[in-house]
């Protein structure tokens, strides 16, 4: 794909997308649906864009862990052990991405973005329903929990967008009902998945380092600074923006392959 021409330097455009992604993640989640397509349209091959976005946005997830530290302390220790399956699944997913031919991944990208956007679209009704049920839960069959979380982590290591939404849904299936504790665990699992995937992407030279540092700094600043602005705008407006971007990118990428 030939690099597109922009009136501003590509690094500045990528950093702006990362800043926005960090803000979106702090308010609604789904920031990857902004950062990844931006890198693709800047001219990066889709696999490189995916790996670069994962590495660059990963530092921003540390802020989520800190933000949910109180809720995290209230979660079950047994559920925290699912972080192990997150590490394993993230590694498997990243390895699968490494083994996927670029041409095949290019054709998969529109479907992956569409799938992630659909998940993001239904996230709010799911959270609303869970919140209405109140706190609670029951004993979890841990082998089944490990298997379910492993599958979600593999998807996350392979692509990433929509992973947190899938994790939230899987925790609901496992019987959790406290949405804040679920968000705390999701932040931990996402940190593990993206962390191990980032290590593999870096060691196998899949990352375009021109964009990583500016995007990482922008993502952290976005998570801390722009979150206040995003909250003033409102969760609904932010979610609608992400949904419009996701569906628009899906359509444009589908049309590119026609």
- Residue 140's SS3 state is coil
Consecutive sets of 10 residues in the chain, 258 residues long: mean pLDDT of each?
Answer: 61 92 72 86 90 88 75 85 94 92 82 79 66 52 87 89 76 75 83 92 94 91 64 65 76 73
| Long-range contacts of the stretch 163-169 (C-beta < 8 A, 24+) | 163/190, 163/193, 164/29, 164/30, 164/190, 165/29, 165/30, 165/116, 165/119, 165/120, 165/123, 166/119, 168/123, 168/126, 168/127, 169/119, 169/126
> Which pair of structure tokens corresponds to residue 76?
């079950």
Domain residues for 105? 11-256
> Which pair of structure tokens corresponds to residue 249?
């990118």
Q: Is residue 186 part of a domain?
A: yes
Q: pTM value?
A: 0.74
Half-sphere exposure in the Cβ direction for 87 (13 Å, CA) = 5
Q: Is residue 1 part of a domain?
A: no
**Domain count for the chain:** 1
Tell me the per-residue pLDDT of 65-94, one tens digit each, with 9 for 90 and over.
777 788 888 888 888 999 999 999 999 999
- For the chain, give the number of residues: 258
Tell me the per-residue pLDDT of 18-31, one tens digit each, with 9 for 90 and over.
988 887 776 666 77
Q: Is residue 5 part of a domain?
A: no
Q: Is residue 244 part of a domain?
A: yes
Burial bucket for residue 246 (CB in 10 Å: 0-12, 13-18, 19+): buried
Q: What values do phi and psi take at 68, rounded to 5?
A: -105, 25
Q: What is the pLDDT of residue 134?
A: 47
Q: Is residue 6 part of a domain?
A: no
Tell me the per-residue pLDDT of 204-218, one tens digit each, with 9 for 90 and over.
999 999 999 999 999
């Amino acid at each position: 794909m030939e690099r597109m021409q922009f009136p501003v330097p590509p690094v500045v455009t990528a950093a702006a997308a990362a800043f926005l992604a960090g803000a979106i993640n702090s308010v609604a989640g789904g920031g990857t649906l902004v950062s990844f397509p931006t890198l693709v349209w800047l001219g990066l091959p889709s696999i490189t864009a995916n790996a670069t976005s994962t590495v660059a946005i990963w530092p921003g997830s540390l802020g989520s862990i800190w933000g949910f530290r109180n809720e995290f302390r209230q979660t079950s220790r047994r559920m925290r052990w699912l972080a192990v399956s997150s590490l394993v699944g993230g590694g498997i997913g990243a390895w699968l991405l490494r083994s996927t031919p670029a041409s095949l991944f290019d054709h998969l990208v529109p479907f992956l973005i569409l799938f992630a956007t659909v998940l993001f679209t239904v996230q709010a009704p799911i959270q609303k329903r869970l919140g209405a049920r109140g706190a609670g839960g029951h004993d979890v069959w841990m082998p089944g929990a490990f298997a379910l979380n492993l599958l979600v982590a593999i998807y996350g290591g392979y692509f990433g967008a929509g992973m947190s939404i899938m994790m939230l849904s899987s925790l609901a299936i496992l019987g959790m009902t406290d949405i804040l504790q679920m968000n705390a665990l999701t932040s931990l699992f996402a940190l593990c998945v993206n962390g191990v995937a980032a290590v593999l992407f870096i060691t196998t030279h899949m990352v375009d380092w021109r964009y990583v540092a500016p995007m990482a700094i922008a993502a952290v600043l976005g998570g801390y600074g722009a979150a206040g602005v995003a909250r003033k705008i409102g969760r609904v407006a932010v979610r609608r923006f992400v949904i419009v971007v996701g569906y628009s990118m899906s359509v444009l990428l589908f049309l590119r392959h026609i």
